[in-house]
Structure 1
Amino acid sequence: MADTLREQQFTLARHLRDPAANPPPPGIEARRLKVYRELFYSAIESQLAGGFPVLRQCLGEALWHVRVRDFYANYRSHTPLFTEIGEAFVDYLQGIELDAPWQLELAHYEWVEAQLYLSDAQDPPHDPCGDLLQGEPLLSSVARVLAYQWPVERIGPGHLPEQLPEVPTLLLVCRDAAFKVQFARLSPLAYQLLSMQGSGRERLLALGAEGGLEQGRAMLEGLRGQGVIVGTRL
């Protein structure tokens, strides 16, 4: 009895995920099956649409639904949490032939925005007044330093780049005190400075900026004033 029920449940689940390839279990009214199919798909699609609004607009409704249905039918997610579906979708995109060359990076960028907005992460122990040259500058737990091949923050329905830019897009993405996620372009020097390990002095020396330690300190202090750097790690 238990095995029969389990098989019926799996048969129904396979049908709901991919009705074209999997017949439903016998004995369920077609009208009810239609309701279940639409309900389950709508729950996933609406969650993804809310997390990837720009990607949805750029792909267009028809292609967007093709992509979501393929994800729904074929990706095997291991999380029961709706808040982690966006990460699963980004992982799914890494294993398919992309619809557009910038698709994966745009999706990752939108996922980072959503993660920072929802994050309840706490900063590790640090000295908020620590010397940023002598100590190790600590990035806020709601800040990310990102590098992309495509100008993800500029992509939209009216701007769909076809040619890969000659220089990468280096971004600082951070949630401010008002819970708004902001982004700023970084210079290569600022990107490397924030990405490296070690004290502020060690980072600047590694970058060949031994003659500009005070300018480097000023840059780091400016980021501390913005809340991007929260102090020095203890």
Structure 2
Amino acid sequence: MDKTLEQQLLCLAHYVRDPAGSAPPEGMEPRRLAIYRRLFYGNIESMLASGFPVLCASLGSADWHRLVQDFYAHYRCQTPLFTELASEFVLYLEQGASDGLKLPQWLSELAHYERVESVLLLSNAQPPVVHPSAGVLDTVLVLSELAWPLAYQWPVCDIGPGHLPKNPLSEPTLLLAQRKDDHKVYFSRLAPLAYAVLASVQQQQWTGRQHLAALAESMGVTLDAVLPSGQALLEQLFLQGVISG
């Protein structure tokens, strides 16, 4: 590519990304540059707004556009795939947007929560085959790729334009996101015991008995103390397709 043309295209790209911090290309009408800017920015903003409707509504129009403009101008995505744009946006928020934006502390968790549904819907994973006769205590358990245990400091299920919390909860919000056979994603609340079991299954390739033994040790009780309720919980999760052998 001709060096002059390459430099012109780079100058145009920088300006379209960040017109406030970049010089416009020489010889191009401001009207045409504004068209390019609206076209590219509008496409990105529209995709993100459709992927994060609660976040967008909760911030309000002005703060939402400032956030997307900062993302568009300064964040460097690691993939060219539009289907992964929302995941890149979540990473951008987790890494910390520009300090001058003064964003609410719950923002990155709400974005993650909203993104989970899309990721599960687009996943090519298949639900595990359920074998009701399998003995969960002596089977090495694995977590379904379509079931995600989630823990948040903020009440992500309740955040919206009418409820913008100032402080995190004293207890975490524990959830299970699962795509079921009807190809819909469902969110359900998890008790601390159920979350602890699923987190253990997610991290370790152990039998059901080993998971319950580790849980009992962390609680300072004997295995016998948690075995009846723990076994019943594992069997329930097994039948629901959340875990498998």
CA distance in structure 2 between the aligned counterparts of 1:180 and 1:158, rounded to whole angstroms: 27
Alignment gaps of 5+ in structure 1: none
1:206 equivalent to 2:207? Answer no
- The equivalent of 1:119 in structure 2 is 123
User: Quick one: which of 216, 223, 232 aligns to 2:237?
Assistant: 223
CA distance in structure 2 between the aligned counterparts of 1:46 and 1:214, rounded to whole angstroms: 51
1:77 equivalent to 2:77? Answer yes
- The equivalent of 1:141 in structure 2 is 145
- The equivalent of 1:132 in structure 2 is 136
Identity of aligned residues (%): 53
Q: State whether residues 155 and 168 of structure 2, in contact with CA within 8 Å, keep that contact through their aligned partners in structure 1.
A: no
1:13 equivalent to 2:17? Answer no
CA distance in structure 1 between the aligned counterparts of 2:81 and 2:89, rounded to whole angstroms: 13
| Equivalent residue letter for 1:38 | R
CA distance in structure 1 between the aligned counterparts of 2:64 and 2:130, rounded to whole angstroms: 46
- The equivalent of 1:95 in structure 2 is 96
Per the alignment, in what secondary structure is the counterpart of residue 153 of structure 1? coil
Alignment gaps of 5+ in structure 2: 217-221
Offset of residue 57 of structure 1: 0.8
- The equivalent of 2:219 in structure 1 is none
TM-score by length of 1: 0.91
TM-score by length of 2: 0.87
Per the alignment, in what secondary structure is the counterpart of residue 157 of structure 2? helix
CA distance in structure 2 between the aligned counterparts of 1:26 and 1:180, rounded to whole angstroms: 51
Count of aligned pairs between the two proteins? 230
Q: Which sits farther off after the overlay, 5-14 or 201-210? A: 201-210
Compute the RMSD of aligned alpha carbons.
Answer: 1.8
User: Quick one: which of 169, 192, 199 aligns to 1:195?
Assistant: 199
Offset of residue 74 of structure 1: 0.7
Change (3 A) 1:8 1:16: same
Post-superposition, which runs of at least 4 consecutive aligned residues in structure 1 deviate over 6 A? none
- The equivalent of 1:45 in structure 2 is 45
Q: State whether residues 90 and 111 of structure 2, in contact with CA within 8 Å, keep that contact through their aligned partners in structure 1.
A: yes
- The equivalent of 1:32 in structure 2 is 32
| Equivalent residue letter for 2:83 | T
